[in-house]
Amino acid sequence: MTRESVIVNDTAMNSIQVVTGDITRLAMDAIVNAANASLLGGGGVDGAIHRAGGPAILEACRTIRQTLYPDGLPSGEAVVTTGGQLPARLVIHTAGPIYHADPDPAGHLAQCYRRCLELAHAHGVKRLAFPGISTGVYGFPKAEAARIAVLTIRTFFAQNPEAGLSVTLVAFSTADAQLLQQACT
Ligand code: ADP
């Protein structure tokens, strides 16, 4: 069950909200997948999205590997696929930085959010949901990741006031939701 907690930032056209719940259940235009370089599935939110969305997503990811990114998706990059059987129309897959191995984890995390927002905008997405990219197995400290997410989204809003994007930050626990809300204030 997804619970809406608060709407914390609004410009005339763009907004951020924080919710707690399972991102695969959200009827968005697009949801973001915290994928890995292989694009071929994994654990955490990646596994949940592939399970809920069915084989069409994996098939599209395989095609992307064979064409655009034969060596894997670099940290900070993002690609779009169908949402398959998900309530969301599209999935935007991004490879977050591995905190203790990436040469520039903060820069690459910001780049993930920025690339996803750019792709969403280019695909006419109005309702977009993000999980906490890199804050699970990839070990990015959650409070810092939340600040980077909010700052990057607000910067995108300032640069694209006409985008009309409603961005939902999805926390998987109430503790994570609090960190996101703090980052928004
Ligand atoms: P990464 O490898 O990028 O760290 P993870 O999937 O391990 O990705 O975790 C990213 C974040 O997604 C974590 O904060 C985790 O709690 C959260 N998460 C896991 N499953 C879901 C889900 N179904 N919906 C929303 N968030 C989820």
The residues spanned by each domain of the chain are: 3-184
List Cβ neighbours of 34 (8 Å cut-off, separation of 6 or more): 44, 45, 46, 94, 96, 131, 132, 133, 134, 136, 138
| Whether residue 79 has its Cβ less than 6 Å from ligand 1 | no
* pLDDT for position 84: 98
Between CA 166 and CA 9 the distance in angstroms is 10
The count of residues in the chain is 185
Segment 82-129, tens digit of pLDDT? 999 999 999 999 999 999 999 999 999 999 999 999 999 999 999 999
Which of these is catalytic: 10, 22, 29, 46? 46
* Mean predicted confidence (pLDDT) in 1-13: 58
In this predicted structure, the answer to whether residue 7 has a pLDDT above a threshold of 90 is no
Report pTM: 0.95
Q: Look up 46 and say whether it is catalytic.
A: yes
Segment 49-66, tens digit of pLDDT? 999 999 999 999 999 999
In this predicted structure, the answer to whether residue 168 has a pLDDT above a threshold of 80 is yes
| Whether residue 34 has its Cβ less than 6 Å from ligand 1 | yes
* pLDDT for position 1: 47
* pLDDT for position 6: 54
Could you tell me the CATH superfamily of domain 3-184? Leucine Aminopeptidase, subunit E, domain 1 (3.40.220.10)
